[in-house]
Amino acid sequence: MKLSLEATIIVKNPVDLTGEEIENWNGFRRSNPALYSPYFHVDYARLLGRLRDDASVAIAMIDEKPVSFLTFQGAASGGFARPLGAPMSDYHGFVESPGTDIDRAEFLKAANIGALHYQAMVGEQADMEGYHRNAYPLCLIDLTQGVETWREAQSSSYRRNLKKNRRRIRRTEEEYGARRFEFNCHDQKIYNQLMVWKKERFAETGLYDVLSADWTSELLLSLWQSKDELRCEMHALYFGDILAAIDMGLTDGPTFHSWMVAYNPDFHNLSPGTQLLEALIDEAPKLGYGLIDLGAGTDSYKSAFAVEDGRVHSGFMPVAGAAAALSKIYGAAESFGEKSLGDIPGKIRRRYTQIADCDKTVSGRAKAMLDAVKTGGSR
């Protein structure tokens, strides 16, 4: 169905979604495999609606029934819109049935969005293809047919990695004693240590500390403390009595999205993160996970573990007004700069976008960008 002049666009805070709208949202998720991730759970949007005063959901209505939802933040008075929860939300996109045929430019314009910038858009909407700048594969560990079936189907790269991991396990137990795991851990001290390790890692690498904003910290803590269907579950690995690694992920039951991962730097050469992930794969059936999602991209350890299944896109969609004009200028300048500077312009843009999503103040954004230049962190 093409979005027509008869369509109505409603924009509201996700907290204000009606029961009927929530029912439609849930129905779209059930019917659309692209929306498998817990980031598309309606309660994720509603929680962010309570944490951010610029949280919005645009709803396209035809014949008084929702046909598409899009959550976003920012975009006051025709400005720039970014995915709701960015930079914490690893996936985003239109919540709708497969094959929904609407004019997305008209949808955004009617929602008073000047330009939509996105980093990990799911789905294969034909009218969005011209706005994509990059594509990234999804890395998924599909355990729905059983752990051993999954392992048998893995590549030679994974099997080599598995042998290395077994050697590291033997070395670990020789030096520190038996390993111990705490799955679905509710220990506040371990949660606090996860935050410490993450912040230390941000400082060491020069990457922007996305946990420095009050709303991002509250988001994680609220989800970890939640007993609802949408929640964070945290898993920990000990070498003897020493905490070695932690993996806290977002889940709605069948899918575990590995989100906040950190390890004791003293054990770097023993790859505690990999040891924990292998154990999590074995434990997945008991935890109720059929899918472990490592996120987009194949960097670092991911390529050895996950099969590339699907893809997400980054890019921007200029719609109208000054925001659209500036987006086009940014895009042209970045494309021109890439010819001589490689990915440096893109890194600068991504860094500023992260900062802008977390810090609304001009002074805070300026300071964070200056710190990035000083430390050399421009990822």
Residue 105's nearest CA partner among 321, 318, 323 is 318
pLDDT digits (tens, 9 = 90+) for 102-120: 889 899 999 999 999 999 9
User: Band of the pLDDT at 333, cuts 50, 70, 90?
Assistant: low
What is the pLDDT at residue 331? 56
What is the pLDDT at residue 206? 84
Residue 247's nearest CA partner among 183, 200, 302 is 183
131-140, 158-167, 182-191, 312-321: least confidently modelled range: 312-321
Task: Calculate the alpha carbon distances from 6 to 51, 62, 96, 120, 286 in Å.
Answer: 34, 7, 19, 31, 50
pLDDT digits (tens, 9 = 90+) for 269-316: 999 999 999 999 999 999 999 999 999 987 777 777 766 668 999 998
What is the pLDDT at residue 336? 44
pLDDT digits (tens, 9 = 90+) for 353-378: 656 666 665 455 455 445 554 555 44
Three-state SS annotation for 114-163: CEEEEEEECCCCHHHHHHEEEEEEEEEEECCCCHHHHHHCCCHHHHHHHH
pLDDT digits (tens, 9 = 90+) for 129-144: 888 989 999 999 999 9
Residue 8's nearest CA partner among 50, 47, 65 is 65
Q: What are phi and psi of 192, to 5 degrees?
A: -60, -40
pLDDT digits (tens, 9 = 90+) for 49-96: 999 999 999 999 998 999 999 999 986 667 889 999 999 999 999 999
What is the pLDDT at residue 355? 63
Those residues whose C-beta lies under 8 Å from the C-beta of residue 111, and which sit 6 or more positions away, are 9, 11, 56, 58, 70, 75
What is the pLDDT at residue 113? 94
295 three-class SS = strand
What is the pLDDT at residue 102? 87
Q: Is the peptide bond before 87 cis (omega within 30 degrees of 0)?
A: yes
The overall average pLDDT reported for the chain is 87
Report the C-alpha gap between 250 and 236 in whole angstroms.
15
What is the pLDDT at residue 289? 98
Report the C-alpha gap between 232 and 221 in whole angstroms.
9
Which pairs from 352-360 meet CB under 8 Å and 24+ separation?
Answer: 353/82, 353/86, 353/87, 353/117, 353/119, 354/86, 354/87, 354/208, 354/210, 355/208, 356/82, 357/73, 357/82, 357/86, 357/87, 358/87, 358/208, 358/210, 358/212, 358/213, 358/215, 358/216, 359/212, 359/213
What is the pLDDT at residue 341? 45
User: Band of the pLDDT at 181, cuts 50, 70, 90?
Assistant: very high
pLDDT digits (tens, 9 = 90+) for 50-59: 999 999 999 9
Q: How many CB atoms lie within 10 A of CB 249?
A: 23
Task: Quote the tokens at residue 360.
Answer: 């609304």
pLDDT digits (tens, 9 = 90+) for 199-232: 999 999 888 899 999 999 999 999 999 999 999 9
What is the pLDDT at residue 254? 97
What is the pLDDT at residue 22? 98
Q: Which CATH class, in words, describes the domain spanning 8-135+312-341? A: alpha beta
Q: Is the pLDDT of residue 345 over 80?
A: no
Q: Which CATH architecture has domain 144-289?
A: 3-Layer(aba) Sandwich (3.40)
Residues 7-15 have a mean pLDDT of 93
pLDDT digits (tens, 9 = 90+) for 23-39: 999 999 999 999 999 99
Report the C-alpha gap between 329 and 226 in whole angstroms.
43
